[in-house]
Structure 1
Amino acid sequence: MTSLEDPSILYQNKDNTVLIIDIPTSIAQAQELNSFTADPREDTSPLDSLDSEPGRGVSRKHLLSSQPLELPYPSSCEPKTEVARARLLERVPPSERLFHDEIQLLLQSALRDIENGYSGGQWCLPRRTSDEERTRTRKRGPESDHSALRKRSSGLLRDSSTSKFALDDRDFASIRPPVILSSTSINAFESIAELDGVVKNPSSRAAILTIDSPDEGIDGASSEYIIPPRSHFAHCTIPLSETQDSLPLESPIPGLPPNELFNLILLDPPWPNRSVRRSGHYHTHPYELLTQRLRNIFHVHAYHQSSSSKDTATLDPLHLNTNEISVAAIWITNSEKSRQTAYEALTSTGFAIHEEWVWIKTTVDGQPIIPLDGLWRKPYEILVIGRRTPVAASTSNESYETGSRYLPKRRVIAAVPDVHSRKPNLKAVFERVFFTSESSVESYAALEVFARNLTAGWWACGNEVLKFNARECWVER
């Protein structure tokens, strides 16, 4: 069963619990508004020659990608004998073994489902890569750090804590008026320092933003970014490494007004990880500080249950008003600490653990990139989703703390990995699951934290928020 609504969804089963998603296409598709959200009354603009049609962002462009993986990675790090494997398993807590055994069975069932129902051939769409990208991928694999794309990035994408144009977090103590972009002309800025606080593109067309500083451009030229329609962003460093006493509770995200509330908050935190620390891809932070920061973000920016719905514990969640829907989702690693941190951050701020979406990383022909039962490395990542509604509130938030066997609903998303740090854009899936009516899709508010690209109609924040929106990351179809 294939999707006719979103070209990035190559397969979905009848109950929408098993899907194949093409990662680059999901990001490209998320650069445009839904067909009923775009405003056809808006006049054409000079950018239309660059961006297909009003309200359609970069829908006719390919996101530069890595070559898709054709063969699984060799399992050279796994124990060589059953005795060595048993010895390693003894070090894993029983609850942790049980959790991953359940995920393994879930994935085996999902892969059989796809094998029986998918007739589309390869598990990803054709990709566009640079010559250097193809050479590097053959040598190191698709999840390596790709210099071709790194050369295309600018100072805007450097860690803002080290950039000479970075703003001190205290500069955001008083929220500045937003920077409003135009979709009818180029929005030129001398440096990133001019983009302090929230930047908005209110139009249903894409806008073009340039940074003219030679220090921030590519080969001395200005850097150019495609800003999707009706998107908002804050280029900032979220101060995860500072103690809570030194930060105001009411401003967990620098530059983002505390009165901005969201029906959906999606986070991809920089979890502590030895391999990531060695590679230097991004800074990581202790679990306790990260937990507190996530709590504060949910406390300040998540919609709370409205007073009109306090006595409606039996209300069907599919018929809730948009302002009664509050969803928070956290990408986690396969570490028990990161999972418990996510559970704690959600349940301590009024969310019940509602669903878990498992991204299984596969080759082009559907093989897991490494064995499902690998001990040192897993071929999947998990998105933990909490929901704060009258229905969710009736579910015990103590399920994980007490060790009871309550299990959230689980969905499986199969996707062939792309360049490092690039995950599937799940906007379409969130809308299918949580915002099912046309009115709710039009009106819900979403925020992505630690984002690496923008999404049409959403807010985003982080110090790499424009990473994959650089013009140089896209090529014509």
Structure 2
Amino acid sequence: MPTPFLFHNPDYSIVLLDLPSSIQHAQHSQSRLASSPVIEIPYPSNEPGEQKRGSLLAALSIDDQAFHSCLQHCICEAIATIQKDYIRGQNGNWHVPRHEVSRPNEWPRELPATQARASSGICHGLKKSTHGPFQPSVVPMILSTTEWRTVFPSLQAVSGIVIHNPPLPWPRTSLMSTDEGEFVIPPEATFIHATLESGLQSFIHGSQTLFAPHVPLFDLILMDPPWTNRSARRSSHYLTAQDQPVDPFDQAVHIVQCHLQSPGLVAVWITNKSSIRHTVLDRFRTINMALWEEWVWVKVTSQGVPVTQLDGFWRRPYELCLIFRRASQPPGMTTVQPRRRVIAAVPDLHSRKPSLKPLLEQLLPDNYQALELFARSLTAGWWSWGDEVLKFQSMDNWVQDDVSRLE
């Protein structure tokens, strides 16, 4: 299967990635994603005026200003390198052709996040409680190895349960059919459609079963926590940390402590809010994990221009993914500067991030085990867990003719 890299320099510190292709590649899919139209020109600016901007910048620490200034310099250099070494010999586009969905009734529908479960009848995969509503089983559910489609009576019937697409002599994408529609399940994908809190017991028992006789430990844990920020609070898309009684990031760190291999890696998507970055660095320092690499996803137009003002204050055109590994020295003693990479990609649907799998695999051993927390899609061979884990797996998100040919 072709890689999603359109360009990379020799050490992969500068990468041009096609976002839909990265997801198709991560799912071992021959089908095409339904995508939003590419962005041709930057978004209109909503930046404050000079006087307001000056006062806002003055409120930032010198370290934070220097940090973002350095990031923006790296981004400018990366864009210039891609323009010089790749684009000049191509058609000028920073993406591959997409299957674009432009009319409102064509957009993939929103899949509701997992709700507290109650049922008027026993569903397959649920066990009846004598003291209250039906509770999910902690026994993993294995998808059919003889039929392409596995049918469940409802989406609730698979919520909170470990669902596993088992290995076969050949990689096979499966289809899961429910009352909420049909969902594409990549080869050897395992997932839990639940919050970290409600799915914990299923995860513990399910991982013990599927990893047996080995201890359920992962070489990589990737997470995209629901950070509290201004845009997320305005949107109905997210249930942020502020909306939940238990901080989901703390829950994720606990899972890291219990289920990460000793030499394992943790990758964390963060926002550009300095307090969140400091929170993540401080929290991982307490469990003796050091920042190893820092990956910057810069969102560009079809012509390679950042989608918003690069040094903007309200809305920066980049996001960060921090890569941690076990520190070789006690906390506070590590002085090695993290390696920085810039990944350019034309953005797609809201909250659909590029898959980092092909880059992360360069850092991982053969036959590695990976877990994604707060996942919004599935990855072939990985565990995925979150209350929006099937968000981008519905048939609506794929070109129907492509999926039908797999049957």
Please state which structure has a larger fraction of its residues in strand. 2
Q: Does 1:194 align with 2:157?
A: yes
Report matched runs for 1:334-353 at 5 Å: 334-353=272-291
Q: What is the distance in 2 between the residues matched to 1:354 and 1:194?
A: 41
User: SS state of the match for residue 107, structure 1?
Assistant: helix
Residue-by-residue CA offset, 1:229-265 (whole Å, 9 max, x unaligned): 111001112239xxxxxx9xx8596875475211000
| Displacement of 1:115 | 1.4
| Displacement of 1:455 | 0.6
Partner AA of 1:277 in structure 2: R
Report matched runs for 1:17-166 at 5 Å: 17-32=13-28, 58-59=29-30, 61-75=31-45, 77-81=46-50, 83-119=51-87, 120=90, 121-132=92-103, 148-151=106-109, 153=110, 157-161=111-115
Q: What is the distance in 2 between the residues matched to 1:192 and 1:455?
A: 20
Residue-by-residue CA offset, 1:62-95 (whole Å, 9 max, x unaligned): 10000010001121x21222x3322221111212
Report matched runs for 1:253-264 at 5 Å: 257=207, 260-264=216-220
Q: What is the distance in 2 between the residues matched to 1:376 and 1:229?
A: 40
CA-based RMSD: 2.8
Q: Is residue 150–residue 177 contact of structure 2 (8 Å, CA) maintained in 1?
A: yes
User: SS state of the match for residue 32, structure 2?
Assistant: strand
Q: What is the distance in 2 between the residues matched to 1:451 and 1:386?
A: 19
Aligned to 1:36: none
Instruction: Pick the aligned partner of 1:279 from 218, 235, 257.
Output: 235
Q: Is residue 108–residue 396 contact of structure 2 (8 Å, CA) maintained in 1?
A: no
* Matched length: 376
| Displacement of 1:291 | 4.0
* Alignment TM-score, normalising by the size of structure 2: 0.85
Report matched runs for 1:267-346 at 5 Å: 267-286=223-242, 289-304=247-262, 325-346=263-284
Q: What is the distance in 2 between the residues matched to 1:419 and 1:294?
A: 25
CA separation of 1:188/1:252 partners in 2, compared to 1, >3 Å: closer, same or farther? Answer: closer
Aligned to 1:393: 328
Residue-by-residue CA offset, 1:372-398 (whole Å, 9 max, x unaligned): 11111111000011012xxx424x642
CA separation of 1:193/1:378 partners in 2, compared to 1, >3 Å: closer, same or farther? Answer: same
Partner AA of 2:172 in structure 1: R
CA separation of 1:11/1:18 partners in 2, compared to 1, >3 Å: closer, same or farther? Answer: same
Q: What is the distance in 1 between the residues matched to 2:103 and 2:84?
A: 37
Partner AA of 1:208 in structure 2: L
User: SS state of the match for residue 303, structure 1?
Assistant: strand
Q: Is residue 266–residue 448 contact of structure 1 (8 Å, CA) maintained in 2?
A: yes
Please, which runs of 5 or more residues in structure 2 have no aligned partner? Answer: 209-214, 403-407
| Displacement of 1:159 | 1.7
CA separation of 1:376/1:252 partners in 2, compared to 1, >3 Å: closer, same or farther? Answer: farther
Q: Is residue 371–residue 379 contact of structure 1 (8 Å, CA) maintained in 2?
A: yes
CA separation of 1:98/1:16 partners in 2, compared to 1, >3 Å: closer, same or farther? Answer: same
| Displacement of 1:449 | 0.7
Aligned to 1:460: 384
CA separation of 1:381/1:457 partners in 2, compared to 1, >3 Å: closer, same or farther? Answer: same
Residue-by-residue CA offset, 1:357-412 (whole Å, 9 max, x unaligned): 00000000100011111111111000011012xxx424x64279xxx7x5311000
User: SS state of the match for residue 72, structure 1?
Assistant: coil
Instruction: Pick the aligned partner of 1:229 from 166, 174, 187.
Output: 187
CA separation of 1:372/1:291 partners in 2, compared to 1, >3 Å: closer, same or farther? Answer: same
| Displacement of 1:110 | 1.0
Partner AA of 1:412 in structure 2: V
Q: Is residue 163–residue 191 contact of structure 2 (8 Å, CA) maintained in 1?
A: yes
User: SS state of the match for residue 393, structure 1?
Assistant: coil
| Displacement of 1:31 | 1.1
| Displacement of 1:171 | 9.1
Q: What is the distance in 2 between the residues matched to 1:345 and 1:294?
A: 11
Partner AA of 1:411 in structure 2: R
Aligned to 1:139: none
Q: Is residue 351–residue 386 contact of structure 1 (8 Å, CA) maintained in 2?
A: yes
Residue-by-residue CA offset, 1:321-367 (whole Å, 9 max, x unaligned): xxxx3000100000012112221232222311100100000000100
Residue-by-residue CA offset, 1:28-72 (whole Å, 9 max, x unaligned): 11111xxxxxxxxxxxxxxxxxxxxxxxxx31x210000010001
Q: Is residue 236–residue 254 contact of structure 1 (8 Å, CA) maintained in 2?
A: no
Q: What is the distance in 1 between the residues matched to 2:276 and 2:317?
A: 17
User: SS state of the match for residue 468, structure 1?
Assistant: coil
Partner AA of 1:276 in structure 2: A
User: SS state of the match for residue 241, structure 2?
Assistant: coil
Q: Is residue 172–residue 255 contact of structure 1 (8 Å, CA) maintained in 2?
A: no
Aligned to 1:47: none
Q: What is the distance in 1 between the residues matched to 2:206 and 2:275?
A: 29
Partner AA of 2:36 in structure 1: S
| Displacement of 1:184 | 2.7
Q: What is the distance in 1 between the residues matched to 2:315 and 2:266?
A: 26
CA separation of 1:173/1:352 partners in 2, compared to 1, >3 Å: closer, same or farther? Answer: farther
Residue-by-residue CA offset, 1:187-228 (whole Å, 9 max, x unaligned): 1010123324211111231111101x3xx3xxxxxx111111
Report matched runs for 1:359-370 at 5 Å: 359-370=297-308
Q: What is the distance in 2 between the residues matched to 1:131 and 1:163?
A: 35
